[in-house]
């Protein structure tokens, strides 16, 4: 089962370290334009959101790939095989989240592969805004809501 990247915009300080290390891990150069994770900063809201591939269960990138270059591996990660890729870019169009990219300079397709388990974006994130979790252990939002309700009830009753 694939690990799940989880993003917490509240913790993100817009430093783009994730873009730096991701591009370096996959290209041996520091180049945010080649990063699989992209950071979007909303200045007036003072909120910053890192976005990357979510390894969809129903992965349209893999479904549309005509050569089998995009495939799910044993760990559940959708990987990209450059040797099989004909750079038709159908996957770029197919991904509803925009998380498969094409580099004009390098003439290649690239996407998140969870760094073969090392997930550099999460490892190097200084604030914990990006983390990797086992999907079964994703924080239970229902439980968090229940915690809040319990606290409210306690306050009202007290």
Nearest-angstrom CA–CA distance, 96 and 61? 9
- Asked if residue 101 binds another protein (CB under 8 A), the reply is no
- Asked if residue 46 binds another protein (CB under 8 A), the reply is yes
**SS3 of 131, please?**
strand
Separation of CA 15 from chain center = 16
- Asked if residue 130 binds another protein (CB under 8 A), the reply is no
Q: Strand pairing partners for 130?
A: 7
Site pattern 2..21 for another protein (x: CB under 8 A): -----------xxxxx--xx
Nearest distance from residue 36's CB to another protein, in Å? Answer: 14
Q: Which of 126, 137, 157, 151 is nearest to 16 (CA)?
A: 126
Nearest-angstrom CA–CA distance, 103 and 120? 21
Nearest distance from residue 11's CB to another protein, in Å? Answer: 10
Nearer to another protein, 29 or 137 (CB): 29
- Binding residues vs another protein (CB under 8 A): 13-17, 20-21, 23-24, 27-34, 43-44, 46, 104-105, 124, 126-127
């Amino acid at each position: 089962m694939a690990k799940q990247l989880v993003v917490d915009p509240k913790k993100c300080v817009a430093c783009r370290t994730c873009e730096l290390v991701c591009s370096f891990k996959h290209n041996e150069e520091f180049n945010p334009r080649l990063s699989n994770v992209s950071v979007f900063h909303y200045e007036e809201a003072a909120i910053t959101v890192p976005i990357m591939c979510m390894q969809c269960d129903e992965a349209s990138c893999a479904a549309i790939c005509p050569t089998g270059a995009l495939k799910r591996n044993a760990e559940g990660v959708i990987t990209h095989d450059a040797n099989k890729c004909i750079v038709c870019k159908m996957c770029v169009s197919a991904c509803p989240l925009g998380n498969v990219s094409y580099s004009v300079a390098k003439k290649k397709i690239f996407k998140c592969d969870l760094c073969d388990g090392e997930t550099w974006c999460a490892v190097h994130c200084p604030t914990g805004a990006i983390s990797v979790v086992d999907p079964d252990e994703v924080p239970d939002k229902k439980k968090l809501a229940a915690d809040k309700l319990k606290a409210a009830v306690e306050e009202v009753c007290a």
